[in-house]
Amino acid sequence: MVEKVDLLIKNGYVVTMDKEGRLFKNGAVAVSGNRIVAVDKTSSIEQKYSAERVIDATGKIVMPGIVVSHCHTHGQASMGMPAEVEMENFYDELAKWWWPFLEDQLKKEDVYALAKYAITEIAKNGVTTVDDVMEAPKDLPGVLDAEGKAFLEVGMRGILAFEATERISKENGKLGIQENVNFIKKWNDKPDALLRGVMCVHTVFSCSPEMLKEVKELADKYNAWINLHVEESMYEVEYSKKHFGKLPFEHLRDIGFLGPNVLAAQCVNTSDKEIKILKEYDVKVSHNIQTNMVIGVGLAPVPKMIDEGITVSLGNDGFYLDMFETIRTVYITHKGVLKDQSVLPPKKVLEMATIDGARAVGLENDIGSLEVGKKADIIVVDLNEPVPLNNSNIYGNIVSFGMGKNVKYTIIDGKIVVENQKVLTVDEEKVRKEAYDATVRIWTRNGFL
């Protein structure tokens, strides 16, 4: 008896990223509704399942969609922004540029348009989940709803976080916290929804210990994840030593903030003794290598963290929309800096982009690998190389030569969102134009246009 399913992807090189690292050279995946119902050799799947919609993945790779564990979609409006300011340190970067000219200018319509553009491009490049950290403190409440609308229209799985801080006032910090609570209440009791809320704060230098404790309590109360930035620059390390007499992760530990539901982005200047703390509390890390490099804050000690057994995932910080580029940058940079070709083998880097990404956002039971029962977040990639692929070179070729433009299909929650580099759910040209108009509005408010 052949069972009818909704979608069959067959004849592909299936890279499951599951615990056993199963690979099927001529493999297939069967999808029913939003779930994977079978992963096996094509011959076995064809005996058991049929579908109206069949994707022939001959010569292509079938793998789990990429998870971006840290993004700021609104960052798209800041690229090349003509603000002439003198910046002496990382704090200036925020206080003289990022906050006044970008985040303080954002209105809901801008948040919506920029998010929609960024996730449309990201989907084309093989991403199926984005953890986005938004800060638009002058247009609360409802910012996350505006952003969520964009995610739902594109069909992107989203973890949406409002970055609460007290940099403007304590009251504004409370509004930010409430924004997250509202979004959590709206979405987190719906296990099949594309959206999920988390608690989120900025940093130890922009949030008081009292605020951090309150956020931790609320995260525990609502059984939610917490996003924050830690140690992106030495400014934060020096600030923490001066004000709290200890390093940032020691401070966070001592106020009871740390736990397995904490996702710390950046961790560039994390010391060896703090890496032990991350391990002890099972804190997850998001590594955003490209922005760390471009603003010159350093290279996170990722190989040490991984050796310690810490979950390290990958983010793009909202700037670099081709995650294959991010994957490759991570793969090559640590080797070069450490003068050691053996660090971060290709399979590990691909795990960081998929199953470890899922773990970092608390969704490892639902996404991150191709396994029966998981949600159908799948990409089909055509590396288009003049070499035969085999079980020894497959991971290396994906991380070394993969590019966003090689992605033929992006399937999110069982739905085909991208086919042959075309996003099926939105009018791409309109989305780009609306993001451009949002950027013009923001730059005009700043007097740049």
Instruction: Tell me the three state secondary structure of residue 263.
Output: strand
Of 130, 136, 69, 132, nearest to 98 by C-alpha is 136
C-alpha–C-alpha distance, residues 30 and 379, integer Å: 13
Closest to Zn ion by CB, 103 vs 366, is: 103
Closest to Zn ion by CB, 110 vs 317, is: 317
Min CB(99)–Zn ion separation in Å: 13
Min CB(315)–Zn ion separation in Å: 7
Would you call 284 exposed, middle or buried from its count of C-beta atoms within 10 A (0-12, 13-18, 19+)?
buried
Closest to Zn ion by CB, 317 vs 356, is: 317
Site for Zn ion in 313-372 (CB under 5 A): 317
Min CB(229)–Zn ion separation in Å: 5
Contact 38, 48 (CB under 8 A): yes
Closest to Zn ion by CB, 124 vs 287, is: 287
DSSP 8-state class, residue 77:
G
Determine which helix (DSSP H) or strand (DSSP E) holds 132, and give its type and residue range.
strand 127-134
Min CB(291)–Zn ion separation in Å: 7
Longest CA–CA span in the chain (Å) reads: 71
C-alpha–C-alpha distance, residues 279 and 305, integer Å: 8
Closest to Zn ion by CB, 135 vs 382, is: 135
Min CB(323)–Zn ion separation in Å: 15
Closest to Zn ion by CB, 156 vs 265, is: 265
Would you call 219 exposed, middle or buried from its count of C-beta atoms within 10 A (0-12, 13-18, 19+)?
buried
C-alpha–C-alpha distance, residues 226 and 193, integer Å: 19
Residue 263: phi and psi, rounded to 5, are: -110, 110
For Zn ion, what does the binding mask look like between residues 285 and 324, x meaning CB under 5 A?
--------------------------------x-------
Number of residues in contact with Zn ion, rule: CB under 5 A? 1
Rg from Cα positions in the chain: 21
Q: Which residue is nearest to Zn ion (CB)?
A: 317
Closest to Zn ion by CB, 295 vs 332, is: 295
Min CB(418)–Zn ion separation in Å: 25
Min CB(70)–Zn ion separation in Å: 6
For Zn ion, what does the binding mask look like between residues 149 and 178, x meaning CB under 5 A?
------------------------------
Which residues here bind Zn ion, judged by CB under 5 A? 317
